[in-house]
Amino acid sequence: MASHRMKDKTIPNINGWRQTTPKHGTAYIVRHRVRRVVSMTLVGVLVTIGSAVGAGLAALAIAPRAITIIQQNGRHKKPEIIDPNAGKPIDLLVLGQDTRSGAGNSSLSGGEDNDDEHNADTAMVVQIAADRSYINIVSIPRDSLVDAPACHTSKGTVPARYNVMFNSIFASGYETGGDLASAAGCTVNAVNSLTGLDIQQFVIVDFEGLKNMIDDIGGVDLCIPVDTHDDYTWLDLHKGMQHLDGTQATKYARMRHGTGTDGTDIMRTTRQQYLIKQLMNKALSLNLLTDSSQLYRLSRSALNSLSISSGLADLSVLVGLAMSMKNLKVDHIYAQTISVVPAPDDPNRRVWTADADEIWAKLRENKPLSQAPESTPEDSNAQNQSKSNAQNGNDTAQNGNGTQNGNPTPEPQTPSVDPVTGLIKNHDGTLIDPNTGGYVDPENGSIRDPKTNEYIGIAYRYLNTTVCGVPAQK
């Protein structure tokens, strides 16, 4: 394998993709193979619900000197909510901080109280469409190996590093600068270098902050596909749709041990993506995105739980953004994990594949991650069925007489689309997710990349309606 150190090339700084190719550690050329932080979140969407999730939630903050207008002449109109970012796409990086600082965080992590722990437990690139019709979420595995450009911190510069774990970028920024601004700044800088994006905003949530926000909206319903027990966090859940409080949901979103998980960070990202959708679904069902009084109340609660960049840390900005997404559909939250394979020299680490840039290209072009706008479900299914046949050695030579191995060629069977789950079903029973083209596990709804077989997401509607038997929403 060729080296990808690129010592002869300039390593970009602060906004530095600089029209060079993304710098993804040894991994990229492999083909087919601030305040508290942490977790993930839909900042806008969940900003509105006051939920940010280590599995992804929203970011809220309020202007400390906001003044409510005094109504005149007996008028009692609600204040008008304006979205200052209307008509503009919004890109941000959501970071979940794996910190053991404080009793709340240490109990949720299953570890001991430790002020020296400042790692990035979760990283998600969130893109909110200019017309607010969809949201893209791309999870970056914390153990993926990448090349990190030099970055400036509050107390010095972190030099460029090569072939390092992604989550170490946050940690080294904090170690050098001693604050979240340094940790987040170095991580945003690296993501921009790796993806070609120009992210300027971020949200950081820690375990306790996530837990508090979930509690503030009354908990969340999650489909647990198998009986789940984790001795690290003392989590014990039965199979089925369960109503979880903030503590339980936070532990479930970040668990990597026990039953119901394979111990990898990759599988954990899929549960976090699912949690985001369930939180958004609750926000919509409770009309939180249209109730200004609720939004203001949740913002004040979130103020004590999240750390966000100054460009978003304003009450009018966040509440306006939240209300602008009141018509968003949960099915239009497109979430997946970046394409990776085990690192050639260490099976416990991951490297990005060449296909990863196809995902980043869509975000650079402000396009939805869904394949739907570019192809019909039948086209997507046929393409994946062809791949499946090739991988399983099922292709059969066909002669010029329209026969296969001397037998008449069977009539092609049109794949069906389930109107409830939205999944494509092949004639052999294989389930395909139309958004990612991945294969869906019928037991737990997880989606795997057809090329790498790595986890890339969860079939949201299938998990709820089929695995847990929840009636489909009309």
- Kindly tell me if the per-residue pLDDT of 49 is higher than 70: no
Question: Given 3.30.460.10, 3.40.630.190, 3.40.50.720, 3.20.20.70, which CATH number is that of 90-365?
Answer: 3.40.630.190
Q: Pick the most confident of 35-39, 389-393, 430-434.
A: 430-434
- Kindly tell me if the per-residue pLDDT of 449 is higher than 90: yes
- Kindly tell me if the per-residue pLDDT of 317 is higher than 90: no
Single-letter amino acid, residue 202: F
Tell which wins on pLDDT, 76 or 338.
338
Query: What is the domain partition of the chain in residue ranges?
Result: 90-365, 424-467
* 444 φψ region: left (φ > 0), alpha (ψ -120 to 50), beta (else): alpha
> 116-154 burial by CB neighbour count: b if 16+ within 10 A, else e?
ebbbbbbbbbbbbbeebebbbbbbbbbbbbbbbbbbbbe
Closest by Cα among 313, 304, 352 to 200? 313
**pLDDT tens-digit readout, 241-260:** 999 999 999 999 888 888 87
Contact 414, 436 (CB under 8 A): no
Contacts of 331 (CB under 8 A, 6+ apart): 422, 460, 461
Q: Which two tokens stand for residue 442?
A: 């019928």
pTM of the model: 0.78
Q: C-alpha distances in angstroms, 54 versus 94, 109, 263, 270? A: 9, 12, 17, 11
**pLDDT tens-digit readout, 400-411:** 444 455 566 555
Helix 207-216 with 246-254: angle, nearest 10 deg: 130
**pLDDT tens-digit readout, 56-77:** 333 333 344 445 556 576 665 6
Q: What is the reported pLDDT for 307?
A: 82
- The owner of tokens 């109504």 is 71
Alpha-helical runs (H) found in 59-179: 103-109, 167-177
Secondary-structure percent of the chain, ordered helix, strand, coil, rounded to 5 = 30, 25, 45
